[in-house]
Amino acid sequence: MTNYLCQFLDWGLISYQDAYQRQKELVDKVSRNDPQKLIVCEHPAVLTCGRTSKPGNLLVNEEILKSRGIEVLRVDRGGDITLHSPGQMVIYPIFDLNFYGRDLHVFLRKLEQVVIDLLSDFDIVAIRIPGKTGVWVGGKKIASIGIGVRKWVSFHGVGLNIDTELSLFSVMRPCGLDVEMTSLARIKATSIDKIKLVSRLKENFRREFNLTFG
């Protein structure tokens, strides 16, 4: 089985727009045969509205949100409205989908599987719900997924709630759903070892996507 070279990047806390610009630059590089990239980061509070977002899923006036320091941005990924904020691990796989059959549905299921396996490493049983992209624990959503693709290279990605301030999700219908959000810290009722989390994330990506990190 072929292994694909991948570089791991931790951008720390970075504005959503700065991360987006960096992603676009990396998409161009990967499309020219640069190694794939796996990025983790966190964003200051921001609501992003994907290509299928419906205005009614934002429940609070944008001016009120701005007064609270929460941006609202229209973005070029799939899916509806979602929240990023500190305490959420944002995962951006800049991957060449030519290696994975150019099948977006398969790619999304593989991203879900990485998250399911990662949560299993922390003794949490997570599932998919047919017809709804993302990952759930006990009927509550813990990870949202929305991607974009250019030249068969993926960008955007996964928001996994680690110790996110869950009350922030009350300003919207997450992903257009009437769903309650949860987090690792809420489920485990303890702080999360983020060094272990990143280590296990890399291992699960390595296995699911046949990667060699270098």
pLDDT tens across 77-88, in order?
A: 999 999 999 999
Phi-psi region of 6 (alpha: psi -120 to 50; beta: other; left: phi over 0): beta
Q: Where does residue 169 rank: exposed (0-12), middle (13-18), buried (19+ CB within 10 A)?
A: buried
Q: Contact 38/91 with Cβ under 8 angstroms?
A: yes
Q: At what angle do helices 104-121 and 194-209 cross, to 10 degrees?
A: 140
Q: In the structure, what pLDDT confidence band is assigned to residue 181 with cuts at 50, 70 and 90?
A: very high
Q: In the structure, what pLDDT confidence band is assigned to residue 1 with cuts at 50, 70 and 90?
A: confident
Least confident of 18-22, 48-52, 86-90, 181-185: 48-52
For 32, phi then psi, to 5°, come to -105, 25
What pLDDT shows up at residue 7? Answer: 98
pLDDT tens across 58-72, in order?
A: 999 888 898 888 999
Which listed residue (6, 41, 49, 175) is catalytic?
175
pLDDT tens across 89-143, in order?
A: 999 999 999 999 999 999 999 999 999 999 999 999 999 999 999 999 999 999 9
- Element containing residue 199 per DSSP (H, E): helix 194-209
User: Considering the chain, what is the average pLDDT of its residues?
Assistant: 96
pLDDT tens across 17-36, in order?
A: 999 999 999 999 999 999 99
What pLDDT shows up at residue 68? Answer: 86
Q: Contact 39/91 with Cβ under 8 angstroms?
A: yes
For 106, phi then psi, to 5°, come to -65, -40
Give yes or no: 175 in active site: yes
Asked whether the predicted pLDDT for residue 144 surpasses 80, the reply is yes
Homologous superfamily (CATH) of 4-213 is Bira Bifunctional Protein; Domain 2 (3.30.930.10)
Question: What's the order of all strands across the beta sheet hosting 71-74?
Answer: 71-74, 46-49, 81-84
pTM of the predicted structure, to 2 decimals:
0.96
88 forms beta bridges with 161
What pLDDT shows up at residue 55? Answer: 87
Q: Report how far residue 22's alpha carbon sits from residue 134's, in angstroms, rounded to the nearest whole number.
A: 24
